[in-house]
Structure 1
Amino acid sequence: MKILAAMSGGVDSAVAAARAVEAGHDVVGVHLALSRMPGTLRTGSRGCCTIEDSMDAQRAANIIGIPYYVWDFSDRFKEDVVDDFIAEYTAGRTPNPCMRCNEKIKFAALLDKAIALGFDAVATGHYATLVNDAAGNPELHRASAWAKDQSYVLGVLTSEQLRYCYFPLGETPSKALVRAEAEERGLGVANKPDSHDICFIPDGDTRGWLADKVGEKTGEIIDTDGAVVGEHQGAHSYTVGQRRGLSLGRPAPDGRPRFVLEVRPVSNTVVVGPVEALAIGEIAGGRYSWAGEPQADANEWFDCEVQIRAHADPVAARARLAPIDPNAEVYRVGATTEFVVVPNEPLTGVAPGQTAVIYVGTRVMGQFTIDRTVSAYAGDSHTAEAEAVSA
């Protein structure tokens, strides 16, 4: 096959490209330039897709012996990831920019260009596996090493996109083996630390970065009874589950710490309460997709597991598709059905804007962006909803 290897400059993508060559494929390496302005992406172990990473990818491609190119996707990245991140926070949601980057950049813009140029597949260093069902339809499954499994961040991929994906590392038992292999191949990135944090916030100060982009506007911090207990400098700076940095002027009657339960951007208020009130008994969202063939009879409840963060443990649950209340302003224009998930045990720290990925066994069934949550706390019956956004 003719394969385009997406090379981030890290050890995983370098070994994935090398394995593709070793498997007999015709491989070309490509690095995605996501910013035209030096200093706007995080460097070293904390970021990805910087000039530094581009040079690391170049050296790896030279050692592997494959052609190498840099593609400028900075405009798409700003529009689909950075601007989306700002819009989501402004609307009171907690977005996952890495999910959006995979959805819009790495497996949409990149894949579309690769197909147009005649490539048969795009290879990446993600730890996940692909399996074809009896009819030849692709299914996305967890990697063999659950500790390194990255199927969650790939949950946004559609059946058509999966047909063009190639994950050479999916069956590798551990990251240590990948690093050892890179060392044996003479790849200089063998011991390069993994990237983490948000790549387009150079200093890691998300609160300050957002304040610079959208400004600061003081507002009230209230408890679940509506009593004012403090003041904030900008609702966008808070996220559900946050405890530190609240600076509450009025302590709770029982003296216990309080946590952010909800962010309401329209009224510019932040709702706080006891840790128990973070328990969520239902999540739902109208922006969903299936990773492969849809679940049969999805309008009926089916058993599954739900995962709400990349490194969170999956939780046993029931899920189904249900009609959306036409009067629910929370949803984007055009949504008529929503994914509804009821976990067997309450979830904690859930916020609108996060991505919920649905699993049946090891298979990724699909995903949705959480638009609303329903509290499982006996002393609180509120439903947290993101602000309405038109398509």
Structure 2
Amino acid sequence: MSRLKGELIVTGNGNKRALAAMSGGVDSSAAVRLLLDQGYSCGGAVMKLASDEENDAVRDAGLAADRLGIDFYVFDFSAEFKEKVMDSFVNTYLSGGTPNPCVECNRYLKFGAFLDKARELGYEYIATGHYVRKEYCGESGRWLLKRAADRAKDQSYVLYSLTQDQLAHTIFPAGEKSKAEIRDIVAAGGLADPSKPESQDICFIPDGRYADFIIRRSGEQKKGEIRMSDGTYLGEHKGLINYTVGQRKGIGVSYSEPLFVIDKNISENILILGTKDELVCNSLIAGDVNYIPFDKPDKPFECTAQTRYHQREAECTVYPLENNCARVEFHSPHTAVSKGQAVVFYDGDYVVGGGTILG
């Protein structure tokens, strides 16, 4: 049965209407089951994100929807995905940064285009299988984003850009559950293979060969010099897109002590190496900053921050700047800061906000 034109498969019933983003996997399938148990009238939809992708996700999500007895649609967002996620990924690498495509996909597709489409179909809410929670603060009249109950599965880092409107109209059924509980739910209902492994790679580069992907889209990259931070020549690199800040292995140079990529000089095509101490920084500038518990603050505030997914939090002070930017000053030296990645601010389990690291 073809499901590639967004056709209706099965009709569900109920009062509160929620459209779940389904992938055919464990988390999204269990999320629908939990919503139905809570009395929601659910539909399910899978996002087709690449025009040449295989239809496994469509097939598996459709089978789960059939077993659950819900409406099922396919949304073709391949054009939006190419522009907002894939092209952005390539351009960030070419400019010397290290992109985070999951953040952009959530911002523009899962909580942007998907929510718009759900509203067109008459759904009040969307739901996802993300491990994260939300709460409503009556005092401020704002929705709050909170880490998952299962801290090991928490995905709040990639959801810092959610707006108040998006939070108000999104449900996270998996947020209070452990992964083991979620697997039990899908096993009991025959909704998905409970042992199905989670994707560990970027969905549009399943083999993990980022450089090959970028070369196919932008052309062969020029070789150039590898130099120490003091200018000492060390050798030749294979193209700057093959390296990320913080990388130690696979650089192809020998030295008296371990060396790491600490910077890329894009204009002169130079890869810059340094010692571990040179990876440490005391501050950063973030752009496109989004705050969740409040509008832009009018004074600095203390919190903790992560500059990588599942990284240990670091204490810092955030100084709001003009043009939706912020300066983050760490209370102790911090590593793993890369242009293009996200810095996310926390107050305990609550997400204060975050932005894109500019430098």
* TM-score strictly above 0.5: yes
CA distance in 2, matches of 1:103, 1:337: 17
Amino acid at match of 1:66: I
Correspondence for 1:359 among 313, 323, 346: 346
Report the counterpart of residue 348 of structure 1 in structure 2: 335
Q: CA deviation at 1:245?
A: 1.7
Q: Does 1:24 align with 2:39?
A: yes
Q: CA deviation at 1:257?
A: 1.4
| Structure 1 consecutive aligned stretches of length 4 or more whose deviation exceeds 3 Å | none
Correspondence for 1:9 among 21, 24, 30: 24
Amino acid at match of 2:357: I
Amino acid at match of 1:100: E
Correspondence for 1:229 among 228, 234, 257: 234
Report the counterpart of residue 315 of structure 1 in structure 2: 314
Q: Does 1:113 align with 2:117?
A: yes
**After the TM superposition, which residues 48-87 of structure 1 pair with which residues of structure 2 at under 5 Å, given as runs?**
50-87=54-91
Does the aligned pair in 2 maintain the 1:139–1:364 contact within 8 Å?
yes
Does the aligned pair in 2 maintain the 1:238–1:260 contact within 8 Å?
yes
Does the aligned pair in 1 maintain the 2:340–2:357 contact within 8 Å?
yes
CA distance in 2, matches of 1:320, 1:141: 22
CA distance in 1, matches of 2:293, 2:112: 16
Does the aligned pair in 2 maintain the 1:285–1:339 contact within 8 Å?
yes
**After the TM superposition, which residues 165-244 of structure 1 pair with which residues of structure 2 at under 5 Å, given as runs?**
165-172=170-177, 174-214=178-218, 215-244=220-249
Residue deviations 1:235-263, cap 9 Å, x none?
12211011122112xx44xx001100011
**Identity between Structure 1 and Structure 2 (%):** 39
Q: CA deviation at 1:194?
A: 0.9
CA distance in 1, matches of 2:330, 2:171: 32
Correspondence for 1:122 among 126, 132, 138: 126
Structure 2 gaps, min length 5: 1-15
CA distance in 2, matches of 1:286, 1:344: 20
Q: CA deviation at 1:134?
A: 1.5
CA distance in 2, matches of 1:337, 1:288: 6
CA distance in 1, matches of 2:128, 2:292: 17
Report the counterpart of residue 143 of structure 2 in structure 1: 138
Report the secondary structure of 1:313's partner residue. coil
Does the aligned pair in 1 maintain the 2:289–2:354 contact within 8 Å?
yes
Amino acid at match of 1:369: T
CA distance in 1, matches of 2:207, 2:145: 35
Amino acid at match of 2:83: E
CA distance in 2, matches of 1:121, 1:319: 33
Q: CA deviation at 1:202?
A: 3.7
Report the secondary structure of 2:326's partner residue. strand
Q: CA RMSD in A?
A: 1.4
Amino acid at match of 2:188: E
Report the counterpart of residue 44 of structure 1 in structure 2: none
CA distance in 2, matches of 1:270, 1:28: 50
Amino acid at match of 2:231: G
CA distance in 2, matches of 1:9, 1:292: 33
Does the aligned pair in 2 maintain the 1:236–1:265 contact within 8 Å?
no
Amino acid at match of 1:4: L
Q: CA deviation at 1:160?
A: 1.6
CA distance in 2, matches of 1:24, 1:337: 40
Does the aligned pair in 1 maintain the 2:201–2:207 contact within 8 Å?
no
CA distance in 1, matches of 2:71, 2:193: 18
Q: Does 1:100 align with 2:104?
A: yes
Q: CA deviation at 1:286?
A: 2.1
Amino acid at match of 1:142: R
Amino acid at match of 2:19: L
CA distance in 2, matches of 1:202, 1:132: 37
